[in-house]
Amino acid sequence: MKYLRMFADEMGGSHFEFAELNSKQVPFMPPAPPIHVSDGQLVDNLVFKRVPNGRSHNGHPAPRKQWVMILKGEIEFEVSDDEVQRLAPSAIVLAEDTVGKDHKARTIGNEDVVFGIAQVFGSKNAVFWFVFSRVEIIILSALFENQA
């Protein structure tokens, strides 16, 4: 299972790289036959958010290490070295660029983008993000409206 890793280097620049999740074949849903399942990871917050189509944001770091799953719509992420990745439903991103230069995001197409976000247990800004996540959709909508 491939995913896109977004990370900051030692100089603070944000970059992409493709990686592979470790998985093994296990009897995950007996009596069904074994299937490939990734290694488990602890998360302490799961949120879903919707970003209206036509919105863009000129830059922000990831609030903390988190898995971002595109559920609906298309989005482009651009990192500080100007590389752009266009993502569609089923794409998985590990956002680890919590420091340094920001990444940009913009929705593509005619439909809203819906994300599922699983925030990694014990990652930076845990207390701040726990509070922030309760109002993130309202705040992000306001930020995107100011960019339009």
What is the rounded CA–CA span in Å between residue 57 and residue 148? Answer: 9
User: For the segment 47-99, what is each residue's pLDDT rounded down to a tens digit?
Assistant: 999 999 999 988 889 989 999 999 999 999 999 999 999 999 999 999 999 98
Residue 14 · residue 80 · CB < 8 Å: yes
Q: Residue 17's beta-bridge partner residues?
A: 5
pLDDT digits (tens, 9 = 90+) for 101-129: 889 999 999 999 999 999 999 876 543 43
Which pLDDT does position 4 carry in this prediction? 97
CATH number of 2-20+42-147: 2.60.120.10
> Is the pLDDT reported for residue 34 higher than 90?
yes
Domain ranges of the chain: 2-20+42-147
